[in-house]
Amino acid sequence: MLISTVLNEVPTTLVSSKTTVLASHEFSLANRYPEPWVNEVFKDNILLTLAYLKNGTSINKPIDWNQVRKPGRFYLTLTPNETFAFHDLVSEKYQKQKLVTTSAHFNATDGFRSDGFLFGDGVCHLASLLGWVARDSGLTVEAPTNHDFRPIPQVPREFGVSIYSLPTDYTTSAIQNLYITNNKDHDVSFVFDYSGEVLKIEAVK
């Protein structure tokens, strides 16, 4: 699998007057879960997933949480016919494609936090927000397993995405993934903007 280039800063070409915003959605990281401590776990896991998306496997270990929690913006570009998969345990139909992935498996080894139930809680929220933006952009989205067993605040229930990534359980992992394919004849970029509380994702061309 090949990782597309992701930059720490959004170039002016993606914020100019010539840019067309295809879709934009956001949610607050302050209300991911009613219990404050658990909410912080969800928040950290979302931000760590963004750090993996931005840095790939070159992310520093052990995790520097002060760095992960900093506000910032970066972008991810999909070229025509390129597919993003939320993790690299993908369905057979995507295995021969050029893929972009977060490079994470959302476990303790990757530095993800546990709320006492499981490691990586919260990453489904990020996947759901991204999938929602991609669908509203007219891209091809496949999310085989809906997150309808539990609401995701600020995301309509029909856009909920369930994420699971365990290398020893490929079958379950592949169907709990998010696949976004750029079906356009031009590049589409996702701009991730974290203000320190609100995470906004825009799809632009």
Q: Is residue 104 part of a domain?
A: yes
pLDDT, tens digit (0-9, with 9 covering 90-100), for 49-66: 999 999 887 888 899 999
Residue 195 has pLDDT above 70, yes or no: yes
The verdict on residue 124 lying in a domain is yes
What is the Rg, in whole angstroms, of the alpha carbon atoms belonging to the chain?
16
pLDDT at 19: 83
Structure confidence at residue 1 as a pLDDT band (50, 70, 90): very low
Over residues 16-33, the mean pLDDT reads: 90
Note whether residue 122 is domain-resident: yes
pLDDT score, position 14: 56
Residue 62 confidence (pLDDT): 92
CA distance 176 to 106: 13
Within a domain: residue 1? Answer: no
Is 34 among the domain residues?
yes
Tally of structural domains, the chain: 1
* Phi, psi (degrees; rounded to nearest 5) at 24: -155, 130
The per-residue pLDDT for 9 is: 54
Structure confidence at residue 109 (pLDDT): 93
Query: What whole-number percentage of the chain has pLDDT above 90?
Result: 81
Percent of the chain with pLDDT over 70: 91
CB-based burial label for 203 (10 Å; 0-12, 13-18, 19+):
buried
Which residue type sits at 51? A
> Does any domain span residue 50?
yes
Measuring CA to CA, which residue among 170, 189, 203, 150 is closest to residue 5?
Answer: 189
Asked, for residue 103, whether it belongs to a domain, the answer is yes
Full residue range of the structural domain in which residue 26 is found: 6-204
Query: What's the pLDDT tens digit per position in 127-146?
Result: 999 999 999 999 999 999 99
pLDDT tens, residue by residue, 165-185 = 999 999 999 999 999 999 999
Q: Give me the pLDDT at residue 4, please.
A: 43
Question: What pLDDT does 3 receive?
Answer: 41
Closest by CA position to 21, among listed 75, 70, 72: 75
* DSSP secondary structure letters along 129-178: HHHHHHHHTT-EEE-SS--TTS--TTS-GGG-------TT-HHHHHHS--
Is 61 or 123 the better-scoring residue by pLDDT?
Answer: 123
DSSP class of residue 6? E
Residue reference for tokens 């997933």: 49
pLDDT tens digit string along 141-162? Answer: 999 999 988 899 999 999 999 9
Mean pLDDT of the chain: 91
Distance from C-alpha of 149 to C-alpha of 128, rounded to nearest angstrom: 13
